[in-house]
């Protein structure tokens, strides 16, 4: 159900996707969907939490393989792990759409919680300074934009600059 909802919302986002769209894609009734989630906002917030958990699980698996205690080495490994997760365009788009729908109270709280968990997890496992964490997350968020707008496939000076 979660993977179907992620795929469905990834295409048109929170505002462009109805619960009927999700129910139909999942092969369930809209009534049953509402038994699982009280409203569309709660469903989308659950998707953000699911994606957040996927990110933390991938990060934990990566950190377990790192043989260095140097924060920069750990952050570099985590960058690669993060890139692997958001290479799944559906996960990437849920995260991007979540940012755009953060004005909805339940979704905004889910997005803030996602960021808080990610930042504090990376801080704990890397020992990175606040400045190192800002650079790490700035790079990850810019990478999200590059992938979301397809700049990774554009051969132009502006796209090459953003890709780094």
pLDDT tens string for the chain (164 positions)? Answer: 889 999 999 999 999 999 999 999 999 999 999 999 999 999 999 999 999 999 999 999 999 999 999 999 999 999 999 999 999 999 999 999 999 999 999 999 999 999 999 999 999 999 999 999 999 999 999 999 999 999 999 999 999 999 98
| Number of domains composing the chain | 1
Within-domain flag for 5: no
Within-domain flag for 4: no
pLDDT at 164: 86
pLDDT at 144: 95
What's the angle, vertex CA 122, arms to CA 117 and CA 128, rounded to 5? 135
Within-domain flag for 30: no
Nearest-CA neighbor of 4 among 90, 117, 84, 77? Answer: 90
pLDDT at 1: 83
Within-domain flag for 14: no
**Stated pTM of the model:** 0.92
Q: What residue spans of the chain are helical by DSSP H?
A: 2-16, 19-26, 30-36, 40-65, 71-86, 89-100, 105-126, 130-148, 157-163
Nearest-CA neighbor of 84 among 110, 65, 70, 108? Answer: 65
User: Could you identify the residue written with the tokens 């889910």?
Assistant: 110
Within-domain flag for 17: no
Question: Which domain, by its residues, includes 138?
Answer: 39-163
């Amino acid at each position: 159900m979660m993977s179907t909802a992620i795929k469905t919302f990834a295409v048109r986002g929170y505002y462009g996707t109805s619960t009927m769209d999700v129910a139909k894609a999942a092969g369930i009734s809209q009534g049953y969907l509402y038994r699982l989630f009280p409203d569309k906002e709660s469903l989308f917030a659950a998707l953000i939490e699911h994606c957040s958990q996927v990110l933390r699980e991938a990060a934990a698996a990566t950190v377990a393989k790192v043989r260095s205690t140097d924060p920069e080495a750990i952050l570099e490994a985590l960058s690669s792990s993060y890139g692997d997760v958001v290479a799944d365009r559906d996960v990437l788009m849920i995260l991007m759409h979540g940012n755009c729908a953060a004005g909805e109270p339940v979704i905004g709280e889910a997005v803030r919680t996602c960021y808080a968990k990610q930042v504090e997890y990376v801080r704990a496992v890397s020992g990175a300074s606040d400045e190192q964490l800002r650079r790490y997350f700035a790079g990850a968020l810019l990478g999200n934009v590059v992938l979301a707008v397809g700049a990774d496939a554009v051969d132009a000076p502006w796209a090459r600059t953003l890709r780094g």
